Amino acid sequence: MTFPPSAPPLTDVKRVLGVFAHPDDADFGAGGTVARWVAEGLEVSYLLVTRGDSGGFDDTPRDQMPLLREAEQRAAAAEVGVAEVEFLDGYRDGYLTPTIELRRDITRAIRRFRPDRILTTSPLRRWERIAGPSHPDHLAVGEATTCAVYPDARNPFAFPELGADGLEPWVVREVWYSGGPNPDHVVDVTDTFDVKLAALARHATQTRHLDDLRRVLRSRMELLARDAGLPEGHLAEAFTIIHTA
Ligand SMILES: [Zn+2]
C-alpha cells in the first residue's frame, strides 16, 4: 500500500494547521517548509497530541519531560514563525491509536482553526526505514487526522457536541503528509535550512546529544534535492500531497 502521485499544491491557501504526535515532529519533518510558508504570508498553527513525555536521552526527571518539551515546542514554533501552538490533554506519548476521541479532538481543532491545508505525519508505514518516521504514534496521528479531515470535520452530523460549542463544519481541501513512503513533492528549503536548525536546537532534550545534526540533516536533504533535480548543493524536504475536496 502506498500513496498515489502527489496532487499539485493549492495556490490559494491562507491557513495551515500542523497536527503532530510529539514536540519536534514538525521541525524534523517540515521545519524548512513551514518557515517558507510563513515567509510567504501563510498563517500556520500547530496542534500537538502529546507533550512527548516518553522522549529524552538523559537522566532528566521524567515528570519534568512534558513541561520541558512543551516549552521547547513553543520556542521552536516561534523560530519558524508559527502563530499558535495548542496541546491536547489526556494522551500519552507511545500510547496513541486513531480512536474516536482523538478524531473528535482533532476535528474540534480543525473547526476552530479552519485551515485550507493540513500538515501531518503519514498514516502509511515506510517499511524500508521503520525507525523515526514510522513511529506508531506518527501513524496513528496521520490516520486520525485523515479521518478528521474526511468525514468528521465537514459532516454537520458528526460529533454533535461540537456543534453545541458553536463550531461549524469545515472542509480542509488539502493534506500534506511527511515521513511516508516515496514522498514525491519536494520543497526547496535551502534558504530556510538555518531556521530549521535553530528550531531543532530549541528541542534540547531531543537534539543536544546529536553532535553532527547539521551534517546528517544536510546530507539527507541534499540527496532529496538531487533526486528531485534541484541544483547541486540545494536542500529539500519531501511530502505527499492529497486533495480532499
Ligand atoms: Zn515523533
Full pLDDT tens readout for the chain, 245 residues: 789 999 999 999 999 999 999 999 999 999 999 999 999 999 999 999 999 999 888 888 899 999 999 999 999 999 999 989 999 999 999 999 999 999 999 999 999 999 999 999 999 999 988 888 899 999 999 999 999 999 999 999 999 999 888 899 999 999 999 999 999 999 999 999 999 999 999 999 999 998 899 999 999 999 999 999 999 999 999 999 999 98
Three-state DSSP at 194 gives: helix
- The whole-number pLDDT of residue 1 equals 75
The pLDDT assigned to 129 comes to 81
Measure the CA–CA gap between 134 and 121, rounded to whole angstroms: 9
138 Cα to the center of ligand 1, angstroms? 6
The CB-side HSE value for 32 (13 A sphere, CA atoms) comes to 21
pLDDT computed for residue 163 by the predictor: 84
User: How many A from CA of 127 to the centre of ligand 1?
Assistant: 17
Distance of CA 190 to the CA centre of its chain: 19
- CA–centroid distance, 135 to ligand 1, in Å, is 7
pLDDT at 28: 97
Count of residues making up the chain? 245
* Rounded distance from Cα 160 to ligand 1 centre (Å): 31
Residues 6+ apart with CB under 8 A from 77: 26, 46, 85, 199
Expressed in angstroms and rounded, the spacing between residue 110 Cα and the centre of ligand 1 is 21
Question: How close is the Cα of 164 to the center of ligand 1, in Å?
Answer: 33
Residue 20 alpha carbon to ligand 1 centre in Å? 7
Closest residue by Cα to residue 138 from 24, 243, 6, 9:
24
Say which residues have a Cβ less than 8 Å from residue 194's Cβ, sequence separation at least 6: none
Predicted confidence at residue 56, as pLDDT, reads: 82
Alpha-helical (H) ranges within 88-234 are 100-113, 136-149, 160-164, 193-202, 204-207, 213-227
* 128 in Cβ contact with 182 (< 8 Å): no
Ligand 1 centroid, distance to 52 Cα (angstroms)? 8
Cell triple for residue 164? 453545541
Distance from the alpha carbon of residue 35 to the mean position of ligand 1, in angstroms: 19
Rounded CA Rg of the chain: 17
The whole-angstrom separation of Cα 208 and Cα 189 is 23
Cell numbers placing 23: 514536540
